[in-house]
A and B are shown apart, each in its own frame.
Chain A
Amino acid sequence: MKPCEKIFTYAVLIFCAAVFALPMLVMISGSLQSPEQLARNPYSIPTTLRWSNYADAINSMPMLLYLSNTLLLCVGCVVGTTLSCSLVAYGLCKIDFRGRKLLMMSVLATMLLPWQIMMVPRFVLIREIGLYNSLWAIIGPTFLGDAFFIFLLRQFFVSIPESLLEAGQIDGLGHWGLFRRIVLPLSWPAITTVALFQFVQTWNDFGGPLLYLSDPDRFPLAYGLERFVSSYADQTHLLLAASVLFTVPIILLFFLAQKIFIEGIATTGVKG
């Protein structure tokens, strides 16, 4: 690259980064200011950091309770999704049976259905089986698979060489054995991707709790935070602190597993 080109590129990059980073920076700095500071001069770099905003935010809503609910949901959903989707993906990919193509098509087709069309009947279904106002209303469906994750895992399973499975078969393994001993150990990267995406998705999930949970003792963070927003609209410093607290784990997770995130998105499209 020519030097002038290089300077231009840097200028553009720095400009873009500034534009994208600015909201995040003011969010953090705003969360550390006193209400008076926020009212007068919110965008200066705070001189005194008011860490007590975070304590206040935690105390003004049952944040730990919400967190424990969120974590329960996340773990439940991650277990449900990884279990069901890997089984189904194996079935769709490594077992040759009649109707397989049809099932595969059904997986693809359901990805195009808007969730709104399912919203009312699913609610009625959840009510009928008595899961309303239970965390299982949100966890349960993940045990029945998710089209996107099935597709993602199938794409990965396809790349596992047949010869390996064949060798396993010669050793006397059935489908369960092949799945457990050969396919699963080889697929950790893909399964981790699924688990991560599901975790983030459940962490952020707002519609599920909005529809299915009525007891505030069962609210997860995303929903609890929204309630907080509507009742503490003038306490911007607390809202920002709560938002930062809610965001930090996801950001940390992203930095821990950057490669998995990026590759997952790049190879399969958008989710999460």
Chain B
Amino acid sequence: MVDRASQLRSSSSWVAGMAFTSPWLLGLVALFAWPFAASLYWSFCTFDIINPPRFVGVENYQRLAAEIASGRGAGKALMNTVYYALLSVPLSVVLGVLLAVVLSAQVRGQAFFRTIIFLPSVIPVVASSVLWIWMLDPDGGLMNLILGWFGVPPQNWLNQARPAVSIEGVAQIGGWLTGGPLLLMGSKDALVLMTLWGVGNFVVIYLAAISDIPATLYEAADIDGASGVRKLLHVTVPMLSPVIFFNLVMGLIRSVQTFTSIYVLSAGTGQPGESLMTVSLRLFTSAFADFEMGYASAIAWVMFVGLMFCTVLLFRTSKSWVHYRQ
């Protein structure tokens, strides 16, 4: 039946197909294929948008390699992005899964709790950045106030370049335990925190996936006398693994591309001390503040290739831990 129907409709189908998909065809050429090729070509040029591009060979890539080797400029941006991605992606997966598990408990007011957790992810980034700038004020900000309740000294947050997860950070904790000051959290950690606050999007996906897990699996685990933690680790997480994998990939792409929040938090400068100068902000600055479109294109290409490499790597490793249900 189905075959006959599509055959019936396929008589003049090429023209019709092309007609219906023509917006996308045009978009593919104008907004993807051409830009893709152009930026590849321009990455070998010096180009300031006003004057015509001039071919300079691998100069841009050489500069990029030198900067990455020295750890400054684009190299610094790369390190910042890696730090942010390495911290924010796994943390948002862990936090997302845990929240979803708690929120899937059959209790009264479940919808209310779900809404509260989800709402922050709906707040426009520009607005939530304003809010966080205020809350992270080292002098009297809400965050430091709360930390104070637990005996933690005030942190510098957006005023501090040094990130928490670093050798100096460990030294700080050591010093604190022996009576010294504690200045742990830096600007990138603030960014991670803000990202985690907006984890609601991911939670919704996990919630949907959790509701698809057959109750029989938990019943079987109960019969085996498994504890809550064991059920989480041996039933929920494996059953969620395809979704976790999906969110890992999406989270990675998203973290590398994060722009608006970083731009607003640092007023477009990447300060303090270049600590918020991530690859995407570096790219924007190179292109539209320094007008080195060629160099910006080279950065974009390296970023693209890097991202592809990581994605492929994730796919490779996924075979060993992602369980697809038949």
Residues on A lying within 8 angstroms of B by beta carbon are: 1, 6, 9-10, 12-13, 16-17, 20-24, 26-27, 30, 42-43, 84, 87-88, 90-92, 94-100, 103, 106-107, 110, 112-125, 141, 143-145, 150, 162-163, 165-166, 169, 174-175, 179, 200, 203-204, 206-207, 210-211, 222, 225-226, 229-230, 236, 239-240, 242-244, 246-247, 250-251, 254, 258, 261-262, 265-267, 269-270, 272
Specify which of A23, A242, A267, A272 lies most central, judged by the most chain B CB atoms within 10 Å of its CB.
Answer: A23
B103–A270 CB distance below 8 A? no
B105–A120 CB distance below 8 A? no
Q: Chain B residues near A143 (CB, 8 Å)?
A: 23
B26 to chain A, nearest CB (A): 5
Residues on B lying within 8 angstroms of A by beta carbon are: 1-2, 5-6, 8-10, 13-14, 16-21, 23-28, 30-32, 34-36, 38-39, 42, 49, 99, 102-103, 105-107, 109, 112-113, 115-120, 122-135, 140, 142, 145, 197, 200-202, 204-205, 207-208, 246-247, 250, 253-254, 256-257, 259-260, 263-264, 267-268, 279-280, 283-284, 287-288, 293, 296-297, 300-301, 303-304, 307-308, 311
A175–B23 CB distance below 8 A? no
A-B contact pairs, 27 of them (CB 8 A): A13-B105, A20-B200, A21-B116, A23-B120, A91-B16, A91-B20, A95-B17, A97-B18, A103-B25, A114-B253, A114-B257, A116-B300, A117-B39, A118-B31, A119-B283, A119-B296, A124-B38, A145-B24, A175-B16, A206-B263, A207-B260, A222-B124, A243-B126, A244-B127, A250-B123, A262-B118, A272-B122
Is chain B's binding surface mostly helix, strand, loop or mixed? helix
A251–B122 CB distance below 8 A? yes
Given A112-B311, A240-B134: A122 in contact with B35 (beta carbons within 8 A): yes
A69 to chain B, nearest CB (A): 15
B32–A118 CB distance below 8 A? yes
B289 to chain A, nearest CB (A): 12
Complex CA distance for A13 and B31, rounded to whole angstroms: 45
A97–B119 CB distance below 8 A? no
Specify which of A20, A87, A258 lies most central, judged by the most chain B CB atoms within 10 Å of its CB.
Answer: A20
Identify which of B35, B260, B288 contacts A125 (C-beta below 8 A).
B35
Complex CA distance for A8 and B38, rounded to whole angstroms: 58
Complex CA distance for A22 and B149, rounded to whole angstroms: 15
Identify which of B20, B34, B263 contacts A95 (C-beta below 8 A).
B20
B253–A43 CB distance below 8 A? no
Given A117-B304, A266-B208: A91 in contact with B39 (beta carbons within 8 A): no
Specify which of B30, B105, B126, B134 lies most central, judged by the most chain A CB atoms within 10 Å of its CB.
Answer: B126
Identify which of B103, B130, B257 contacts A116 (C-beta below 8 A).
B257
A26–B99 CB distance below 8 A? no
Given A246-B127, A262-B204: A116 in contact with B280 (beta carbons within 8 A): yes
Known: A120-B296, A226-B263. 7 other contacts (CB 8 A): A26-B142, A97-B10, A114-B253, A114-B304, A124-B38, A169-B9, A266-B207
Complex CA distance for A1 and B228, rounded to whole angstroms: 12
**Which residue in chain A gives the minimum CB-CB distance to B28?**
A106
Q: Chain B residues near A269 (CB, 8 Å)?
A: 205, 246, 250
B200 to chain A, nearest CB (A): 8
**Which residue in chain A gives the minimum CB-CB distance to B111?**
A258
**Which residue in chain B gives the minimum CB-CB distance to A255?**
B115
Is chain A's binding surface mostly helix, strand, loop or mixed? helix
A87 to chain B, nearest CB (A): 5
Complex CA distance for A218 and B24, rounded to whole angstroms: 28
Complex CA distance for A270 and B117, rounded to whole angstroms: 16
Complex CA distance for A112 and B314, rounded to whole angstroms: 14
A87–B13 CB distance below 8 A? no
**Which residue in chain B gives the minimum CB-CB distance to A254?**
B122
Q: Chain B residues near A9 (CB, 8 Å)?
A: 102, 105, 107
Identify which of A119, A230, A250 contacts B124 (C-beta below 8 A).
A250
Complex CA distance for A42 and B131, rounded to whole angstroms: 13
Q: Chain B residues near A179 (CB, 8 Å)?
A: 20
B258 to chain A, nearest CB (A): 11
**Which residue in chain A gives the minimum CB-CB distance to B32?**
A110
Complex CA distance for A230 and B304, rounded to whole angstroms: 31
Specify which of A9, A42, A174, A265 lies most central, judged by the most chain B CB atoms within 10 Å of its CB.
Answer: A265
Q: Chain A residues near B103 (CB, 8 Å)?
A: 13
Complex CA distance for A16 and B123, rounded to whole angstroms: 18
Given A20-B119, A143-B23, A145-B27: A97 in contact with B303 (beta carbons within 8 A): no
**Which residue in chain B gives the minimum CB-CB distance to A97?**
B17
